[in-house]
Every structure is written in structure tokens, then in C-alpha cells.
A and B are shown apart, each in its own frame.
Chain A
Amino acid sequence: MEILILLLFVFVLAAFLGFELIQKVPSQLHTPLMSGSNAISGITVVGAMIAAGVAEGEFGKWLGFAAIVLAMINVVGGYLVTDRMLGMFKKKGK
């Protein structure tokens, strides 16, 4: 129970931090911000690795495996498209 309260504490603080982090975003950056944070949401990959790692039954293991693949697509794809987009912005910004 104690750990859960601690985690809840972390969650609430992170929520306030999230609201404070971006206030005025130039519209030019809306897409990269979205796809970049989308890549961060692939953090589930860590949960998937643990789930696959601890699973004892075959079924649970494969669920974890599928989760790793999906989350990793989200992570790698998300960061790369964001970088590609921002690369284009940079080019003409000089």
C-alpha cells in the first residue's frame, strides 16, 4: 500500500509538471510535439519487457512479446518521424 501512495504522489506531480511544461507552442511545432510525445508514450515497452520477463505461462509470455514489438514500433517509428520532420524545419531555418 505504501508504494502505491508513493506512486500516486509521483503521478500527481508528473501531471502538474506536464501541464506546466508546454504552455505556448508555436503552431509550426504542433505536429513534432505530438509525434515526439507519442514516441515517449511508447515507454510501455519497459512494462512489456517486465511482463514478458516475469510471465510463467506460455500465453502470458507471448502477450508480453507482442506488447514489446508494438511498443517498440511506437518508440522507434515515433522518434524517427519526429526527427525527420524537425530536420526539414531546420534546413530552411538556417
Chain B
Amino acid sequence: MEILIDLAYIVASILFIFGIKMLGNASTARKGNLLSALGMLIAVVATVFYKEVVDYPLILAGLAIGAVIGWIWAMRVQMTGMPELVALFNGFGGLASVLVGWAEFEFGKNTDPVTQIAIYSAILIGGVTFTGSFIAYLKLAGKMSGRPTLFAGQKAVNAVLFIALLALGVVYVMTGSAWSLYVIIVLSLALGVLGVLPIGGGDMPVIIAFLNSFSGLAGAAAGFVILNKVLIVAGCLVGTSGIILTIIMCKAMNRTFGNVLFGGFGAVGGATGKAVEGEMKGISIEDAYYALEAAQNVVFVPGYGMAVAQAQHAVKELGALLEKNGAEVRFAIHPVAGRMPGHMNVLLAEADVPYEQLCEMDAVNPTISQVDVAIVIGANDVVNPAAGDDPSSPIYGMPIINVHEARTVFALKRGKGSGFSGLENALFFRENCRMIYGDAKETITGLVAQFKG
């Protein structure tokens, strides 16, 4: 029996590997996801046949309850709520690893140092993943300010916490005492909270990718606790592929991961670069319409503001009208626009924007000077020209979409304040930029009405 179970685990591992590989390619992604789900099913079913697994009612009840809750959440979520849901799911995975480690400790059969190290790792990594993801969830869902939360001595507190966790780890592995493990659980949870608090909304894509990687590693650690190969393989695959995604996100912002973690980027009172000269000039929806009506080449640059205003459907409609009017319409998507990797792609796909119109930053920038009108919808840092020409700006060096080189820029914005990162955007003060204040959805709907009227 054991051998059959192990063989099933090998099959599951292969399906996970192909699943992840296929997820990285547009034409095979959906099939890849299904394959990896099949692998999961095989792994779960095989585990039922373990001879040590005896309490079937309890296990089946747990599987059923979890499946139903997950199913309901997944089916009900709006696409705009996707980032926070992914963060929440991720946190649950981390907490599950904590509990597996804890349960094995209570079971207390394996007391050799290596198992203790594994229990310690599962609890530490899982605990940080759980509370870290939960704070990310609160920030993304708007239940908590997206700005970095900083306080005096924060770095020192985190450093002390981290060192205490290492020291307690040594104590636990040497003695196997219960108190040390309980303190480790509490401190790991605290570290997750304090670690993510100073990270601002704009950096969320990086931290979500990183926590995703961490939840995989927590699973792998749990695998070492119970000596289970499929946990190790699957957890490790997620851990490393998550790190790759994290690196991609960091590169897109021209920042190091350490800077994201400890930078407190966008905190109130942080560096803001040089003061911007000039004034912002507004434009009415009517005048904006006349400009768009005459435009031959239009580029939309969506950002988090589009998600907040739920404007994607209205934007799609405006895009279609512009195209009918004879203009070339494109959507320029910055890799870190929004609050999770690929956020804008998901929203625009939901609104049925044609695939050919979605362009990556590098494809749009070389042709930007031929663009008649660039419409920035709730994006801020990713179009801030200070990233290119103001070495004192905290975002200096970050690749941006060069909309300031377009003939005209319309920036849709709620009010005059600075964006999420707290930076004044030099773009808004440029000669060729006009602000359209108000709710993005209402503004776009207004433009659509003008076209139809």
C-alpha cells in the first residue's frame, strides 16, 4: 500500500510540475491549472489510504467544509476583489502549516533534532505567512490604510523579534520544551504583522508574490515534519517559482527586495523628490471629448484607481467607440500597475477588452510620440516622469510608461492630492497634461455619452 501511495505522489508531483510550467504560457495556462488540480486530487485521495489515517469522519468532514467554503468564496468574488482574496487564501495555507507543525509537536513521537528543526521552520514560516497575508488582505480590501504604518524604533523591534525567534529556535531544538514552541508561535505571528505593516499599497504586488512563495516553503517545511515527499516537492516548487515572480516585480520597480521590505516606501514625511513647478490644468469632459474625437491614436494607461472605481467596463466601451471612430486604441499595462502582479490584465479581461489591444510597457514606449491622446486612469507612479529625470525622487530609475511624451495626456483623478505612494506627480504639471477630476467611472461614462450623443 505504502508503495502505491508513493507512486501516486510521484504522479501528483509530475502533474504539479507540468501545471506550473503550463501556467507560464498563455495558450496552455488553463489546462495547466486543471492538471495541477488533478495532481492535488490524486495526492489527497492517496493520502486517505495511509494505514495511520483512521479517523475518516473527521477528515472527510474537514475536507468537505474547507472545499465548500473555498468554492463559495471563489465563485462569489468580483474580479476587482481578486488581490485580497488571493492574499487571504495564501494566509490560510500558511496557518495550516503552522497547525500541522503544532499538531505533530503535540503528538510528540519524533523528538530528534531534525524533526524539531522542521517543526520550528513550518511554524515560523507559516506563522509569518498567515499574519503577513492577513495584513496584506486588510490593506488591499481597504479595511486598513494602504499607507505604510511606521513607528519609532520599528526596525529595531523587528530585529529584536527576529533574533528572539532564532534564539528560541535553538532553545526549542535543544530542549523540545513546550513553552518555547508556544512563544515561537506567538512571535512568528507578531513578526508577520510587523513585517507587512510598513509596506505601502504600491509595493503590494511584490509582497503578495513573496508571501505566496513563503506559503510554499511553509508547506515544504511541514513536509519535512511528517517526512512526506509530495509536500516537499510541491511546496518547494511554489517557493522557488514565487521567488522568480518576486524578482520580476522588483525589477519592474527598479528596487531591491530589501528596499521594498524595509524602505517604508511612500510613508508620510518620506523623501518626495524636488518640488514640482507649475500648476495642474483641468479640462471639462466636453473639451476632452473634442480632443478624443479628433484623435487617431489613443492609449489608455490603467492603474489601481480604475480598479477602485470599477471603471473597466466603461473604459472598454469608450475604447470600442474610439475604435469605431477610426482611432487606433491600445492599453498600456505597467507590470506593477495595481495591487497584485498582472492586476490590470485581469480586470480588462473581465471587461472583454480585445487581447490585441493590451500592450506591455516596452511595446508602447517606442511609439509613444505618435500617440495623440494618452488617458491615464487612476495610475500614478507608473507614469511619473520624475522616475526618469529627477535623481532625488524616491522612484528615480523605475521604468515607467512615458505618457508625458505623447501629444496630449488626460489624467483622470479623484482629487488634487498625491497618490498612494505620497509622491507629487510631475506629469500632472506638464504643459501637455490636462486633469479630469472626479470619479473615473463617471468621467468615462460621461465621455461615452458624448460620443453617443
Q: Does B82 lie at the interface of the complex (its beta carbon under 8 Å from any beta carbon of A)?
A: yes
Q: How large is the interface on B (under 10, 10 to 19, 20 to 34, 35 or more residues)?
A: 35 or more
Q: Does B248 lie at the interface of the complex (its beta carbon under 8 Å from any beta carbon of A)?
A: yes
Known: A33-B23, A88-B350. A25 touches B86 (CB 8 A): no
Known: A15-B236, A33-B241, A72-B67. A83 touches B30 (CB 8 A): yes
Q: CB within 8 Å of A: which of B71-92? A: 71, 73-75, 77, 79, 82, 85-86, 89-90, 92
Contact B96 A7 (CB under 8 A): no
Give the chain A neighbours of B212 by CB distance below 8 A.
34, 37-38, 41
Contact A70 B99 (CB under 8 A): yes
Contact B92 A73 (CB under 8 A): yes
Known: A59-B106, A68-B62. A31 touches B341 (CB 8 A): yes
Question: How far apart sit A3 and B227, CA to CA, in the bound complex (Å)?
Answer: 8
Q: How large is the interface on A (under 10, 10 to 19, 20 to 34, 35 or more residues)?
A: 35 or more
Q: Does B107 lie at the interface of the complex (its beta carbon under 8 Å from any beta carbon of A)?
A: yes
Tell me how far the C-beta of B138 lies from the nearest C-beta in chain A, rounded to whole angstroms. Answer: 18
Tell me how far the C-beta of A44 lies from the nearest C-beta in chain B, rounded to whole angstroms. Answer: 5
Tell me how far the C-beta of A77 lies from the nearest C-beta in chain B, rounded to whole angstroms. Answer: 3
Which of A38, A53, A61 lies in contact with B93, CB distance below 8 A?
A38
Tell me how far the C-beta of A88 lies from the nearest C-beta in chain B, rounded to whole angstroms. Answer: 4
Known: A7-B223, A73-B69. A27 touches B236 (CB 8 A): no
Contact B21 A38 (CB under 8 A): no
Which of A53, A57, A77 lies in contact with B106, CB distance below 8 A?
A57
Which of A25, A48, A83 lies in contact with B96, CB distance below 8 A?
A48
Give the chain B neighbours of A51 by CB distance below 8 A.
99-100, 103-104, 107, 226
- Is the contact region of chain A dominated by helix, strand, or loop, or is it mixed? helix
Question: How far apart sit A57 and B157, CA to CA, in the bound complex (Å)?
Answer: 37
Which of A19, A69, A86 lies in contact with B62, CB distance below 8 A?
A69
Give the chain B neighbours of A93 by CB distance below 8 A.
26, 355
Which of B24, B65, B77, B90 lies in contact with A25, CB distance below 8 A?
B24
Question: How far apart sit A26 and B33, CA to CA, in the bound complex (Å)?
Answer: 16
| Residue-wise interface mask of A (34-56) relative to B, using a CB-CB cutoff of 8 A (1 in contact, 0 not) | 11111111111111111111111
Contact B103 A52 (CB under 8 A): yes
Give the chain B neighbours of A11 by CB distance below 8 A.
220, 224, 232, 236
Tell me how far the C-beta of A43 lies from the nearest C-beta in chain B, rounded to whole angstroms. Answer: 4
Q: Does B422 lie at the interface of the complex (its beta carbon under 8 Å from any beta carbon of A)?
A: no
Contact B241 A45 (CB under 8 A): no
Known: A38-B90, A72-B65. A85 touches B349 (CB 8 A): yes
Give the chain A neighbours of B74 by CB distance below 8 A.
76-78, 80-81, 84
Q: Does B327 lie at the interface of the complex (its beta carbon under 8 Å from any beta carbon of A)?
A: no
Which of A33, A35, A67, A76 lies in contact with B70, CB distance below 8 A?
A76
Which of B73, B236, B240 lies in contact with A73, CB distance below 8 A?
B73
Contact B231 A32 (CB under 8 A): no
Question: How far apart sit A11 and B69, CA to CA, in the bound complex (Å)?
Answer: 31
Known: A64-B103, A83-B34, A85-B349. A74 touches B62 (CB 8 A): no
Give the chain A neighbours of B17 by CB distance below 8 A.
17, 21
Contact B63 A10 (CB under 8 A): no
Give the chain A neighbours of B69 by CB distance below 8 A.
69, 72-73, 77
Contact B37 A79 (CB under 8 A): yes
Which of B21, B40, B240 lies in contact with A15, CB distance below 8 A?
B240
Q: Does B272 lie at the interface of the complex (its beta carbon under 8 Å from any beta carbon of A)?
A: no
| Residue-wise interface mask of B (148-179) relative to A, using a CB-CB cutoff of 8 A (1 in contact, 0 not) | 00000000000000000000000000000000
Q: Does B43 lie at the interface of the complex (its beta carbon under 8 Å from any beta carbon of A)?
A: yes
| Residue-wise interface mask of A (6-26) relative to B, using a CB-CB cutoff of 8 A (1 in contact, 0 not) | 010011001111110111111
Give the chain B neighbours of A75 by CB distance below 8 A.
40, 66-67, 70
* 9 A-B pairs closest in CB distance: A72-B66, A18-B240, A53-B53, A30-B342, A68-B62, A30-B341, A77-B70, A76-B70, A80-B74
A-B pairs with beta carbons under 8 Å apart, 20 shown: A10-B232, A14-B240, A21-B17, A30-B248, A31-B86, A31-B346, A34-B342, A38-B86, A40-B234, A44-B222, A49-B47, A49-B50, A51-B103, A61-B58, A71-B66, A72-B67, A74-B70, A77-B85, A81-B89, A84-B74
